[in-house]
C-alpha cells in the first residue's frame, strides 16, 4: 500500500506522479477526516474524500481500476459502500458501468432491487449476468462431473442384467477369485447399473434464507441451482424464504431471473420454509434437502426441529449450510446449530469449491466432508 500525504507523513519524501495519485485514491476512502474538525490523525488538514458526488465517485472508481488489480478494486469498492454509504449511487446506470463486478456487488444490487428505477434495472441485470456467467464457467464443469460420478455410484446394482454389467468394476471386485489353471476370474459378485440410468435418480431441494446477511450465499446457491437443474438425472427445486416462502423452480433455467426474484432482508421463518419443502417431497429415500441459513429462527423453533427429525426419519438426506460463500461462517444461532447436530444434521459453512463434494456425499448417503469450524471463528 502506498502512503504519503501531509508533510510526507514524516518520511521526508513527497510523493509525486503516479504514486501521489495512488495515495490520493487511497486517502479518499481510508484517510477521510472524522470527528476532528477536518484534520487527519497527525493534525494536518486532509481534503480527500468522495462525498456524495456521483461524478466524483465515478472518477474515483476509474482511478482505482487504473492503479490497482481487480481483487484490490473489489475490496475498495466494498469498503466504499460500507464506510461511505454509497449504495444509493449504485442506482445510477453510469455508476454501475464504472464498477468492478463481483459477488458482493451483486448482493448489494439485489438488496436495492425494489427501489431500483427502470432506467437502472437493465444495466443492473447486465452487471449481475456478467458475474453469474463467470461463476457458471468456474463451477459448472466440476459440479457436473462430481455429481455424475456420485449418481452413477449411487445407482450401482448388485444383480444387473447381462447387458448392464460394468465389467471393469466386476473384474476388480472379483480378482481374489482368479483361477490360474483356467486363466480366468470367477465373477461371484456382479456390478452394474439399472436400465433407467438416464432417468431421474435423485430429488434435490435447495432451501435458501434470503435475509440480508446471506447475500453471497443466495448468489452462489442460485448459480448451483441452475447447474443442478441442467442435469437430467436430478430433479431440482429452489425455494427462498424470509417470513414468506417463494418457489423459484420455474426460473432455474436463468439464475439472473432467480436472483431478481429474491428479496434480501426481512425476517426469517425457517419452520414455514421447511414445511413447504416437506410438502413437496414424494420420494424421501431419494431426496436431498439443503438448508442454507444462519439459523436465526423467527418462527417456531420446536416445530422446525421436529420437521427436520421427521424428514430424516423418512429417509431424506438433510444438509445444513450456515453459508455458501468464500467468507466462512457468519454469525449464526449456535443453539439451533447444536440442536440440528444432535439430530444428525450438523451445520457448517461451505465454500463454493467444496459444495460439489458435499452434494456428492449426500447423494451417495455417506458422511459429509465437514470442515473444521474452528477455522471460521
pLDDT value at residue 1 = 44
pLDDT value at residue 368 = 93
pLDDT value at residue 279 = 97
Find the mean pLDDT for residues 3-21.
Answer: 64
Q: Which of 82, 71, 134 is nearest to 108 (CA)?
A: 82
Tell the residue number behind the cell numbers 468492478, with chain if given. 100
**Range with lowest mean pLDDT among 74-83, 224-233, 257-266, 367-376:** 367-376
C-alpha 62/C-alpha 94 separation (Å) is 12
Write the secondary structure of the chain as one string of H (helix), E (strand) and C (coil): CCCCCHHHHHCCCCCCHHHHHHHHHHHHHHCCCCCCCCECCCCCECCCCCCCCHHHHHHHHHHHHHHCCHHHHHHHHHHHHHHHCCHHHHHCHHHHHHCCCCHHHHHHHHHCHHHCCHHHHHHHHHHHHHHHHHHHHHHHHHHHHHHHHHHHHHCEECCCCHHHECHHHHHHHCHHHEECCCCEECCCCCCEECCCCCCCCEEEEEEEECCHHHHHHHHHHHHHHHHHHCCCCEEEEEEEECCCEEECHHHCCCHHHHHHCCCCCCCCCHHHHHHHHHHCCCCHHHEEEEEECCCCCCCCHHHHHHHHHHHHHCCCEEEEEEEECCCCCCCCCHHHHHHHHHCCCCEEEECCCCHHHHHHHHHHCCCCCCCCHHHHC
For 253-301, the pLDDT digits (tens) are 899 999 988 877 778 899 999 999 999 999 999 999 999 999 998 878 8
Is 188:160 a contact under the CB 8 Å cutoff? no
Radius of gyration of the chain measured on its C-alpha atoms: 26
Query: Which cell numbers in the block locate residue 140?
Result: 459448472
For 123-173, the pLDDT digits (tens) are 889 989 999 999 999 999 999 999 988 887 665 555 666 666 777 777 877
Find the mean pLDDT for residues 355-373.
Answer: 89
Task: Please report, to the nearest 10 degrees, the dihedral formed by the alpha carbons of residues 177, 180, 181, 183 taken in order.
Answer: 90
Find the mean pLDDT for residues 178-202.
Answer: 72
Sorting pLDDT into bands at 50, 70 and 90, what band is 89?
Answer: low
Task: Please report, to the nearest 10 degrees, the dihedral formed by the alpha carbons of residues 131, 240, 201, 315 taken in order.
Answer: 140
For 48-61, the pLDDT digits (tens) are 455 555 556 667 76
C-alpha 377/C-alpha 375 separation (Å) is 6
Find the mean pLDDT for residues 297-315.
Answer: 93
pLDDT value at residue 225 = 94
Write the secondary structure of 243-280 as one string of H (helix), E (strand) and C (coil): CCEEECHHHCCCHHHHHHCCCCCCCCCHHHHHHHHHHC
Amino acid at each position: 500500500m502506498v502512503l504519503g500525504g501531509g508533510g510526507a507523513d514524516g518520511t521526508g519524501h513527497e510523493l509525486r506522479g503516479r504514486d501521489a495519485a495512488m495515495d490520493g485514491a487511497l486517502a479518499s476512502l481510508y484517510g477521510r477526516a472524522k470527528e476532528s474538525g477536518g484534520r487527519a490523525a497527525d493534525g494536518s488538514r486532509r481534503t480527500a474524500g468522495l462525498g456524495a458526488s456521483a461524478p466524483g465517485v465515478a472518477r474515483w472508481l476509474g482511478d482505482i481500476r487504473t492503479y490497482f488489480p481487480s481483487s484490490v478494486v473489489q475490496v475498495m469498492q466494498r469498503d466504499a459502500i460500507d464506510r461511505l454509504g454509497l449504495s444509493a449511487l449504485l442506482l445510477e446506470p453510469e455508476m454501475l458501468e464504472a464498477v468492478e463486478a463481483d459477488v458482493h456487488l451483486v448482493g448489494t444490487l439485489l438488496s436495492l432491487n425494489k427501489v431500483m428505477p427502470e432506467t437502472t434495472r437493465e444495466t443492473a441485470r447486465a452487471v449481475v449476468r456478467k458475474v453469474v456467467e463467470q461463476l457458471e464457467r468456474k463451477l459448472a464443469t466440476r459440479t457436473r462431473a462430481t455429481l455424475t460420478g456420485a449418481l452413477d455410484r449411487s445407482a450401482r446394482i448388485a444383480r444387473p442384467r447381462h447387458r448392464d454389467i460394468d465389467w471393469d468394476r466386476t473384474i476388480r471386485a472379483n480378482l481374489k477369485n482368479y483361477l490360474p489353471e483356467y486363466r480366468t476370474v470367477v465373477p461371484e459378485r456382479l456390478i452394474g447399473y439399472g436400465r433407467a440410468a438416464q432417468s431421474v435418480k435423485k430429488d434435490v431441494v435447495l432451501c435458501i434464507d434470503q435475509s440480508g446477511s446471506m447475500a453471497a450465499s443466495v448468489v452462489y446457491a442460485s448459480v448451483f441451482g441452475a447447474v443442478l437443474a441442467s442435469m437430467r438425472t436430478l430433479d431440482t427445486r429452489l425455494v427462498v424464504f424470509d417470513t414468506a416462502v417463494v418457489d423459484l423452480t420455474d426460473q432455474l433455467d436463468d439464475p439472473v431471473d432467480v436472483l431478481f426474484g429474491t428479496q434480501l432482508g426481512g425476517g426469517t421463518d425457517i419452520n414455514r420454509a421447511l414445511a413447504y419443502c416437506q410438502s413437496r417431497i414424494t420420494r424421501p429415500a431419494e431426496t436431498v434437502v439443503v438448508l442454507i441459513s444462519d439459523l436465526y429462527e423467527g418462527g417456531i423453533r420446536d416445530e422446525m426441529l421436529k420437521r427436520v427429525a421427521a424428514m430424516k426419519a423418512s429417509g431424506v438426506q438433510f444438509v445444513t449450510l450456515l453459508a455458501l460463500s468464500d467468507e466462512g461462517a457468519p454469525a449464526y444461532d449456535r443453539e439451533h446449530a447444536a440442536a440440528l447436530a444432535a439430530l444428525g444434521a450438523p451445520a457448517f459453512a461451505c465454500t463454493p469449491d467444496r459444495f460439489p463434494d458435499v452434494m456428492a456425499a449426500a447423494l451417495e448417503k455417506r458422511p459429509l466432508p465437514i470442515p473444521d469450524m474452528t477455522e471460521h471463528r
